[in-house]
Amino acid sequence: MNFLKDELIFVPLGGAGEIGMNVNLYHYKSDWLMIDLGISFSDETTPGVDIILPDIRFAEEQKVNLRGIILSHAHEDHFGAIPYLWDKLQVPIYGTAFTLALLRRKLAEAKLPEKIPLHEIKYNVDYNFGALTVEFVALSHSIPDPAALIIKTDKGQILHTGDWKLDETPMLGGKTDVARLKQIGDEGVIALIGDSTNAMVAGRTPSEAVARKGLTDVIANAQQTVAITCFASNVARIDSIVAAAKANNRHVCVVGRALHRAISAARDTGYLKDLPDFVSEADAGLMPRENLVIICTGSQGEARAALAKIANGMHENIKLNSGDTVIYSSRQIPGNENAIAKVQNQLLRQKIKIVTDEDAPVHVSGHPARDELIDLYNLVRPKIAIPVHGTARHLEAHAKLAVSCQVSQTLIPENGDVIKFSSSNANKVDSIQVSQFTHESGNVVDLQSDMLRSRRQMLWNGSVSVSILLDQMGGLMQAPAVSQDGVCIIEEESDYLADISMLVDTQMEKANTKILIDDSAIETMLIGKVKSATKSRFRIRPKVHMHVIRIAG
C-alpha cells in the first residue's frame, strides 16, 4: 500500500458490521496507531470455541511503524484481546487510569510478564504519536474512565467516539464533556467515526439514576434474599446496587472473581471509596435472609460464573431458596439468549423470582439512542459520518440519521476497508481480507483452519472411521472395519456399517493397479465414496477417517 504512505487513512479490522471485537487502525505519513483490540464471544455458529479474536495480520505487517495501541475503555469488546494478541505487536499500550488498572489485573491473572508497557493518558492533553496526535475527551458510558479520541493531524481532525451516552446523572465518574465536543466542532472536524449500538432506539438512553431507583424499588418489594447480576466492569451499577441495598437496610455480599477484580481496580483509581464492608461469602448464609443482597457474576449465562453455579446448586457458599429474587441488571448480549434461559429455567424451577429490565427499570444501556446521536452531530458538525460498532442494520440506521443531521457524506465501512480522507471527503480505496481467530491451547488459530472446520463438520455431521488391511498389491486381507459416531441411530447402525464395509470391498475390487499401489489415492477414492453413500442415505456429509495399513512382504 505504498501509494498511500502520506495519506490519512482509517482501517477498521473489527467492529464494522458486528457488535464486538473492535479494532481500528489510523495512519498518517507512515505512522500507524491502533485504537482498541477487543474480542467477541462465540455463538452457535462457532461450536467448541469460547472467544473470537480479530485478524490483526495487517497490523503486524505495519508493526515497525505502529506507534501504540490506544484503549478507549476497558470493555472486553475493546480491550479483551490484549492478553492473546499483544505479543504479535509488542507496542506500548495507552489508556485512562481505570482501563489500565483493570488491564493490569487481567494480565496478572493470565500470568503475562510485566514487560507490557502501559502508559496512562489524561483527558484533554495532546499526546504525539509521530504524525498523529491524540486527545482524550471524557464521556459517560457503563464503565469508569471511557474516552472519545480526537485524532489530530495537519490535514484536519477526526473524532473517534468509542462507546458513550449523554447522562446528566451518571452517579459515578464524569459526564460527557459536551463543552469540548462543541469546541472541536467549532475548530472543524473532518469525520466522526462512532458508536451505532442504539442507532435504532428512539429517544434518549435513561440515566444510571433510573436504574438505581428501579433497583431500590424492586429490593423494597422483595421478601427474602435478592441476588443481582450485572457486568462486572459496570462499577456505577455496583455502586447503585450497594446504594439500593443500603436504602433497604440490607448488607451486600459480592460473589465472582471478575467483580472483585473490577471493584479493586475501581478503588485503586479513586472510585467506590466509601462503600460499606461487604459480607463474606462464608458469612452470607448466617445473615437473616431478608437483610441480604448478593451481587454476582454470570448475567450472560456463563457456565463457570457465580450465578450458574448458584442456580444449579453447585456454589460452595451461596444458596438461594424458594421466594428469593434474582435481578438481571444487564442486557442480553445477542448469542447468549439460550445460555441465559438455561440458568433462568433452573431458578424458576426452584420458585425463585426473576426480574429483568422487561419487568422493571433495573438496567440502562451505556450507548446513545437517536436523540443523543443527533445532539452529538449538532455539537461536532463533521463533514463525514462513518458509523461503526454495529451490525449492518445499525450502521445503516446511524448513516441515515447522520444525513438527517446535514452531514454531507456518510460511508458505511466493512472490516478490512481502507478508507482515505481528504480534508472534505472519504473514499474506500482498497480492502484487506480479514478472517476470525480463536485461542486454542496457547495458540491463535484461524476459525477456518482445518482443525476447527473438522470439529464443526464432526459436530454437525458426525464421523465415520474405516480401516483396511492390504497386501502389497492392494488386496484386502480381511473385511474392512467400519465405525461411526453421530451419523445414524443405533437401530440402523449395523445395517449402515455392513453396507459401508461392502461398499469399500466392492470399490477395492474395481480399483485399478495404479490406485491400489498408492495409499493416498486409495484414501481419497474411499473417502469420496463413503461420503456420497452416507449423504444419499442420511442427507449428511460426515467427517470420514481412512486408515490404510499395508502388510510388508
Which 100-139 positions form the footprint of Zn ion (CB under 5 A)?
none
We find the least distance from the C-beta atom of residue 173 to Zn ion, in angstroms, to be 13
Degrees, nearest 5: CA angle 183-185-186: 65
Angstrom distance (rounded) from CA 380 to CA 368: 15
Enumerate helices (H) and strands (E) in the chain, giving the number of each: 17, 29
We find the least distance from the C-beta atom of residue 216 to Zn ion, in angstroms, to be 25
Angstrom distance (rounded) from CA 369 to CA 205: 5
We find the least distance from the C-beta atom of residue 189 to Zn ion, in angstroms, to be 22
Which 482-501 positions form the footprint of Zn ion (CB under 5 A)?
none
We find the least distance from the C-beta atom of residue 9 to Zn ion, in angstroms, to be 25
* 325-328 vs 353-355, strand pairing mode: parallel
Per-residue contact string for residues 27-66; x = within reach of Zn ion by CB under 5 A: ----------------------------------------
Nearer residue to Zn ion within complex by CB, 55 or 163:
163
We find the least distance from the C-beta atom of residue 165 to Zn ion, in angstroms, to be 10
Q: Which stretch binds Zn ion (CB under 5 A): 67-75, 254-262, 317-325, 484-492?
A: 67-75
We find the least distance from the C-beta atom of residue 376 to Zn ion, in angstroms, to be 16
We find the least distance from the C-beta atom of residue 123 to Zn ion, in angstroms, to be 17
We find the least distance from the C-beta atom of residue 109 to Zn ion, in angstroms, to be 21
We find the least distance from the C-beta atom of residue 164 to Zn ion, in angstroms, to be 9
Nearer residue to Zn ion within complex by CB, 75 or 353:
75
Binding flag, residue 195, Zn ion (CB under 5 A): no
Q: What are residue 321's phi and psi, to 5 degrees? A: -120, 165
Degrees, nearest 5: CA angle 402-406-407: 55
Query: First vs last Cα of the chain: how many Å apart?
Result: 59
Q: What is the residue type of 4?
A: L
* 325-328 vs 226-229, strand pairing mode: parallel
Nearer residue to Zn ion within complex by CB, 77 or 417:
77
Q: Which stretch binds Zn ion (CB under 5 A): 73-81, 91-99, 234-242, 311-319?
A: 73-81
Binding flag, residue 75, Zn ion (CB under 5 A): yes
C-alpha cell at 386: 462513518
Nearer residue to Zn ion within complex by CB, 99 or 248:
99
Q: Which stretch binds Zn ion (CB under 5 A): 160-168, 186-194, 389-397, 463-471?
A: 160-168
Nearer residue to Zn ion within complex by CB, 366 or 462:
366
The 3-class secondary structure across 107-143, one letter per residue, is HHHCCCCCCCCEEECCECCEEEECCEEEEEEECECCC
Nearer residue to Zn ion within complex by CB, 163 or 417:
163
Closest by alpha carbon to 69, among 58, 57, 82? 82
Name the one residue in this structure whose C-alpha cell is 479490522. 13
CA distances (Å), origin 20, targets 189, 396, 399, 434: 26, 17, 19, 15
CA distances (Å), origin 344, targets 122, 190, 202, 236, 294: 42, 47, 29, 25, 16
The 3-class secondary structure across 425-480, one letter per residue, is CEEEEEECCCCEEEEECCEEEECCCHHHHHHHHHHHHCEEEEEEEECCCCCECCCC
List Cβ neighbours of 229 (8 Å cut-off, separation of 6 or more): 295, 296, 297, 298, 299, 306, 307, 326, 327, 328, 329, 330
Nearer residue to Zn ion within complex by CB, 74 or 263:
74
Angstrom distance (rounded) from CA 462 to CA 454: 10
Q: Which stretch binds Zn ion (CB under 5 A): 111-119, 158-166, 340-348, 444-452?
A: 158-166
Binding flag, residue 239, Zn ion (CB under 5 A): no
We find the least distance from the C-beta atom of residue 40 to Zn ion, in angstroms, to be 13
Q: How many residues bind Zn ion (CB under 5 A)?
A: 2
Name the one residue in this structure whose C-alpha cell is 505502529. 66
Q: Which stretch binds Zn ion (CB under 5 A): 70-78, 84-92, 128-136, 520-528?
A: 70-78
Closest by alpha carbon to 38, among 182, 143, 172? 143
Q: Which stretch binds Zn ion (CB under 5 A): 120-128, 156-164, 239-247, 289-297?
A: 156-164
Choice from 18, 76, 163, 167 touching Zn ion (CB under 5 A) = 163
Q: Which stretch binds Zn ion (CB under 5 A): 155-163, 398-406, 420-428, 459-467?
A: 155-163
Nearer residue to Zn ion within complex by CB, 143 or 293:
143
The 3-class secondary structure across 46-68, one letter per residue, is CCCCCEEEECCHHHHHCHHHEEE
We find the least distance from the C-beta atom of residue 136 to Zn ion, in angstroms, to be 15
Q: Which residues bind Zn ion (CB under 5 A)?
A: 75, 163
